[in-house]
Structure formats: structure tokens, C-alpha cells
Amino acid sequence: MRRDPGLVATRKAARVAVVATVAFMLCRYGAGSPTAATYAAFGAIGFGVLSQVVGTPRERTRTLAGCFVTGTVLLTIGTLLAGSTWAATAGMLVVGVVVAFLPIGGPRPAGVANGLQLLYILPSFPPFAPDTLPERVLGLALGMGLLALADRLLWPPRPVEPYACRAAGAARALADLLDAVTRDGATDLPARRAAAAHAVGRLKLQVTPWEERPTGPGARDRGLAHLGAALRSVQGRVEALLTAEERGAGAVPGDAVAALSTTAAALRRTSAALRGRGTLPDVALLDDARAAYTQRRITAIATIHGGDAAVEHARSAVAVAQVLAEARIAVAAARVVADPRGRAGVPADLGWWATAPVALLWRRRIRAHLSLRSVYLQNAVRLGVGLALARLVAGAFDLSHGLWVLLATLTLMRTSVTSTRATLLPAIAGTALGAVVAAGLLEVVGQDAVVYAVLFPVLCVASVLGGQLVGMIAGQAFFTVLVAVLFAQLAPAGPSLAGVRLLDVAVGAAVGIAVGAAVWPAGGHGEVRHDAARALHALADLLGATAAWLTGRGSRTDLARRLWVSDHQLIYFEADFLQYRAERRRRHEDDADWFTVLGVVHRTMRAVRSALDDTAAPAQREPAVPWPDLVDRLDHDARALATGYTAVAQALTLHRSPDVVLGVPVDFVDRALRAVADAPERREHPQATLRLVDAWGRLGWAADDLAALGVVLAPTPARVPRRRRQPA
């Protein structure tokens, strides 16, 4: 089916329908327990429909087992607090915020948050019967246990291509491209360039299924994120090398062939290992290749004469060195992916997280997002307040089916008021349509339980498929009829039940809209621009500090501190970007390419970290560069670039189109390289010369990124918001 590729929704609907029906019938008609039947059905629906249980089959089973343990605790708390409206409301606020904060852990905990919320909501309403807690737990155990079995045996979900496999494909394509680059007259070079661009493009977060996005705090997710970013950088630097060659501005240096061939072989082995075939290469092999290439560069500096030949060699050598550095990061990150617990053979300079214990990684992630700047905390507070207010309203007005009020708030509330408002009318329309059908059904069928029992599995399938294939109106309509049929089997019900459902959904939706409009209504759209600006401000500070470090004028401690600040800003920016991609946009809204901005931040920070831990750093080489005029020139260029990044950040803050005018000419790198080539006693100080060349190479990369930012962040005239006239 065109709207259901691979019959994913159909298989899920059938699986949940079988589990919910069997669990409900066993408890209701086999054991004669309406209480157990309720929790069995909602256990299957909560984690089969309202949740997305993702991962491998073993991971999904572990997730459901963990949710049962956690859900039992929430169910117990909800049962004990249900008798008092104020106690239940306070509990709803705490549980709502804590559970809604789970997405900081990545797709797996984020996918089950709604199901866990439901397990506190269910016992919060009449009948207030703490003595039925064992029946409730048994019903939940049956529903979730059958769901776990069905997930393995009954039309199990088809596996989604893991991000590691996407990275493996990109690594193999880049290895093939590097092989073609190092061969003279390779006729398949254009095809391999296109294949590499396509494979690397599949590593972008926005084209990766959300359940496979490496956004968790664990070492494996962090390793996958660094692996994908490093492979994208390798492809970008190879393209820069080839583009320069096409312009006649330099070719691949002959002394780089061996290093690039070693890199290609390492990437090919990495690709095979990520697919489970073979072992990963040792990072030391790449370190040896880089060291050998660095030595050849030092030799070339001492032998190549000045002028155009030296400049062309330096320009190409810089790009090759950057390819080698990024490939090393990719291989090192792949070792973390392959062994996230032991992390054997992982170099210490990959990042602090590479050797940190899991508990520390989680603690750092939680602490970082315990800030009102975090969209994760904003979402948690917004939903927690909404659910608590809905519980207070339902209890204060003694709504007979207050559960539906909170269920409507839970399922309709979004991360921005625009997205929430967009779901309101379809939800009300679908519920109204379903209420009319349910009222007619209850009037005609009356108390004939057999008819309801037959309709129940059919409506389960229709409820899941309606929302997936037709839209929210159909999904809400079928779900309203399903709920009416379920409660008609638990207690005598008349046509008025459908009207109660419609009223409760309207109340829940109104609460969601009110809270969404009052509590951070803009969502990710309101934060992404500000956090992007903060990240770019941090990059501006990094550029100047990096130039000082590379020339021996700055301290390692200062650069590391600025890098930590940038890393902290990046945490918020990444979270904003992911939420922004999932939110509904307002008409004519500024839609900048935030992914490009995110890529610039990642690349700059990796380049700085590489400079900080490079074996050619000043701490291990000559104490200072012997040409003060060149050092001053490098500092000037670095400050000019920092000013450009600051200008872009200020333009973002003021909602203006960035008008970036560099304080250095466009060809400042070539001019600088020529000045280095003509420096007196260049041959007597090859290591200092190499440091200057690489420093300007990093600045050139930063300048390219700055030019790209000026393009992707420039809104069209129709999108530029009007400025208020300032008083005279």
C-alpha cells in the first residue's frame, strides 16, 4: 500500500488488536474481573498504540519489561493518591514532569513516555479501590506480557536499517572514492563521488528514522554521532581537494598517496566491522600513517622552493591532513560503537565521554538539561502542568469519566501552541463523529455483550490504521467508538456515554491549548534561533583561542575551557534542532537551514579538539613561531573570522539577514601561505612552518563555513519580520 509501505501499520494494528482482545476477554469473561480487564486492555493499548517501542527484538523486550516494573510503581502511586483530588493532582504534576523528561535519554525512553503517563492516569479516577491493586497489576502484567510475546512471534516489526549500517555504507563509499583519488586517470571518479555524496547524505539526522537517531547520552550513541559527523567531514574535505584540482589550483600531492591509501583501507575495514564482518583497524595504524605523512611534509618544506609551487603543495597538503584527521576520528568513534562498554583500544583524545562510565554520562546529560533553556525541561514542565490542571478540573467538577480528559490532554498536547492548535479541530471533529456513531451503536445494541466482544478487535485495528492511513479525524472517531465498546462491556452504558466522551475530550483539549499558550508557546521554534546564536558566539571565542594555541601564545587550559563552553551550548542547540524538525511551522515563517549551522558548530569543535590534542601542538614542539609578523597576521585573520561569526550570531538574535563582511580578503589563505613560503629561514624551522600552514588551513575551513552561513541564514524579503519604529 502506498500509505503503508511494508504494511508496517497494518501489522502493528493486527498485533495490538489480537493482544488487547485476548487479554481483555481472558480477564473479563474468563476470570470475571472487570478491573483486571481494564488494565490488561490499556496495558496493550498504552504500549502498543500510544507508545513506540523501538530497537532490536531483545531491546524491545527489555524495554517492555522495564516499563512493566516502572509502570507498576506508577500504578501503585496513582492508586494510593486517587482518593484526594489535591493529592492526585500533585502526584500528576510530579509524575508528569519526570516521565515527560525521559526523552533526554534518546528514542527508546522517549517512545514509551506516553504509555508510562497512562499508567498513573488510569488509577487516578473512580472507583477509588486500593484493595483492587493486585488485580490491576495482574491485568497489566497479562496485557504487557502478551504484547512482549506478540512482538517476537506475531507479525513482528520489520527491522529498521540501523544508523551503524548507514555509517558502514558511507565509510565504504568514501574508501572507494579515496582509492579513485589516489589512482591516476581513474575513469570511475565521477560515479564514486556521486555514490559517496549519496551515502554520506543518508547520515543526516533529518533523513534518519527517529528511532535510529543517535541522540542518547550513552557511549554508543555518542560514538555513532561522532562517526557520522566525521564521515561527513571526510567527504567534504575530499570534495575540497578534488574541486581545487579541477580548478587547476593544486592536485593530490604524490607524497600523500600512501597515507590516503592507508586511510581508504582503514575505512573499508571499519565498514565491514560495523556490519559484523571482521575486526576494526587499530587507530595506531592511522597515527603511524599521519606521522609518516607529517614527516614527508616537513621534508617537503625543507626542499620545495618558494612561490606558486610551495603554495599549491601547502594548500593540497592541508586538505589531505584534514582528511586524515577526520578519518582517524571516524575509526576511533567506530571502536566505541563496537564496544560501548569496554571501549577497548579507544584513544583518550577522542573526547572525555569515550572513557567515562555510563552513570557519569547520564548524570552529565541530566544536569545539563536541568535548565529552563532546555527544550526537554520546557516540554516536561508544560506537559506536567497541563496534566495536573486537567486532573484538577476533572476532580473539581466530578467528571464521570475524567480519565478521558487527561487522555485528551496527553495525546493532543504538542511542543508548541501552533502544533497543538493544528490538532485541536481534527480531534474534536473526529471525536464528535465517533460520538454520534457510538451513541447510535449503544442505543441499537443495548446490553448485548456478544456484539461488543465481536466489534472490539475490529475497532482496535481500525483505531490504529485510521490514524496512520487516513488521518487524525478517522483515528479519533474509531478510538471514541472503541472506548465506548470497551466500557460497555465493563458496566451498563447508554448513548449518553458518547456525549460524555465528547465533553471530556473538549475539556482536555481546551486545557492543552491554554497551558500550551501560556508555557513556552513557541516550542523549539522559539529556542533554536537563540541557541544557534549562542553556539556561534562560542565558536567566535574558540577561533581566536585556537590560533593563539597553535602559535604558542595561548594556554591549553584556556582553550579547553572555551571548548567546554562551546560543548555546553551545543547540547541545547542539538535538542532545539531535533524538536524544531518535528514541529508544525507557521505560514511564511523563517525556515533557515539549521542543520547546516549545526554542522558548522560540530566541525569547528572537532577541528579545535584535534588541534588541542594534535601531536604537532606547541607543547611538544618548538616553544614559539620565529616570525612575529606572521603570528600577528594569523591573529588578525582569526579575529576577523571571529568577528564574522559574531556578526552572524547577532543577526540571528535580531532576526536580520546576516551581512557578513570579512576583515580579510577572500583569498587570505593563499596570501598567507605565500607569505609563509617566502618567510626567511623557512627551511630551518620546518615544524613551525607546518604549524602555521595548518593553522591557516583551519581558518580557511572556518571561512568557508562562514560564507555558507551567510547564504543559508539569509531569509527572503517576505520572511523578514517588520521592525518596530523607534521613537525619535
Q: What is the pLDDT of residue 660?
A: 64
> SS3 for 330?
helix
Same structural domain, 504 and 590: no
Residue 667 lies in a domain: yes
Contact of 238 with 181, CB cutoff 8 Å = yes
Instruction: Count Cβ neighbours within 10 Å for each residue of 25-59 and write b for 16 or more, e otherwise.
Output: bbbbeebebbbbbbbbbbbbbbbbbbbbbbbeeee
User: For residues 402 and 397, what is the distance between their CA atoms, to the nearest angstrom?
Assistant: 9
Q: What is the pLDDT of residue 250?
A: 52
User: For residues 692 and 685, what is the distance between their CA atoms, to the nearest angstrom?
Assistant: 11
Q: What is the pLDDT of residue 621?
A: 46
Quote the number of domains for the chain: 3
Same structural domain, 408 and 551: no
User: For residues 36 and 144, what is the distance between their CA atoms, to the nearest angstrom?
Assistant: 12
Same structural domain, 482 and 545: no
Residue 365 lies in a domain: no
> What is the arithmetic mean of pLDDT over 335-362?
82
Q: What is the pLDDT of residue 28?
A: 92
| 649-696 pLDDT, tens digit each | 888 887 776 666 666 677 888 888 888 888 888 888 888 888 888 888
User: For residues 293 and 258, what is the distance between their CA atoms, to the nearest angstrom?
Assistant: 8
Q: What is the pLDDT of residue 662?
A: 66
Distances (CA, A) of 241 to 198, 238, 248, 313: 18, 5, 11, 11
Percent of the chain with pLDDT over 90: 38
Q: Which of 367, 363, 384 is nearest to 116 (CA)?
A: 384
| 430-470 pLDDT, tens digit each | 888 988 998 898 888 888 888 988 999 999 999 888 877 88
Q: What is the pLDDT of residue 248?
A: 57
| 287-308 pLDDT, tens digit each | 999 889 988 888 888 777 667 7
Same structural domain, 504 and 606: no
Same structural domain, 16 and 126: yes
| 566-618 pLDDT, tens digit each | 988 998 998 998 888 877 665 445 567 888 888 889 888 878 877 776 644 44
Contact of 249 with 311, CB cutoff 8 Å = no
Residue with cell 534518519: 208
| 59-71 pLDDT, tens digit each | 999 999 999 999 9
| 508-527 pLDDT, tens digit each | 888 988 888 888 888 888 88
Same structural domain, 108 and 200: no
Q: Which of 118, 148, 116 is nearest to 38 (CA)?
A: 118
- Which cell goes with 117? 503517563
Query: Model confidence at 15, in pLDDT bands (50, 70, 90)?
Result: very high
Sort residue 523 into left (φ over 0), alpha (ψ -120 to 50) or beta. left
User: For residues 68 and 115, what is the distance between their CA atoms, to the nearest angstrom?
Assistant: 10
Q: What is the pLDDT of residue 715?
A: 54
Query: Any idea of the CA torsion for 698, 712, 198, 189, to the nearest 10 degrees?
Result: -60
> SS3 for 653?
helix
Report the interhelical angle of 449-465 vs 8-25 (nearest 10°): 150
Same structural domain, 342 and 422: no
Same structural domain, 25 and 152: yes
Report the interhelical angle of 219-246 vs 189-201 (nearest 10°): 150
Q: How is 219-243 classified by DSSP, letter by letter?
A: HHHHHHHHHHHHHHHHHHHHHHHHH
Same structural domain, 247 and 314: yes
Same structural domain, 530 and 656: yes
Residue 716, pLDDT above cutoff 50: no
- Domain hosting 262: range is 163-355
Choose the final residue of a domain: 467, 487, 518.
518
Q: Round the average pLDDT of the chain to a whole number and report it.
A: 86
Residue 685 lies in a domain: yes
- Which cell goes with 279? 575486526
Neighbours of 440 (CB within 10 A): 13
Contact of 575 with 602, CB cutoff 8 Å = no
Q: Which of 605, 506, 611, 517 is nearest to 564 (CA)?
A: 605
User: For residues 40 and 26, what is the distance between their CA atoms, to the nearest angstrom?
Assistant: 9
Same structural domain, 350 and 452: no
Please give the backbone phi and psi of residue 171, each rounded to the nearest 5 degrees, phi first: -65, -40
Q: Interior CA angle at 438 toward 436 and 443, to 5°? A: 100
Q: What is the pLDDT of residue 332?
A: 92
Please give the backbone phi and psi of residue 477, each rounded to the nearest 5 degrees, phi first: -65, -50
- Which cell goes with 71? 509502570
Residue 703 lies in a domain: yes
Same structural domain, 221 and 111: no
> What is the arithmetic mean of pLDDT over 30-39?
93
- Of 360-364, 545-549, 646-650, 653-657, the poorest mean pLDDT is in 653-657
Percent of the chain with pLDDT over 70: 92
Choose the final residue of a domain: 470, 491, 518.
518
Higher local confidence (pLDDT), 10 or 589? 10
> SS3 for 286?
helix
Choose the final residue of a domain: 355, 390, 419.
355
Residue 725 lies in a domain: no
Q: Which of 117, 146, 145, 122 is nearest to 133 (CA)?
A: 122
CATH of the domain at 671: 1.20.58
Residue 337, pLDDT above cutoff 70: yes
> SS3 for 438?
helix
Residue 184 lies in a domain: yes
Higher local confidence (pLDDT), 667 or 81? 81
> SS3 for 216?
coil
Q: Which of 15, 79, 40, 2 is nearest to 490 (CA)?
A: 40
Residue 129, pLDDT above cutoff 90: no
Query: Model confidence at 51, in pLDDT bands (50, 70, 90)?
Result: very high
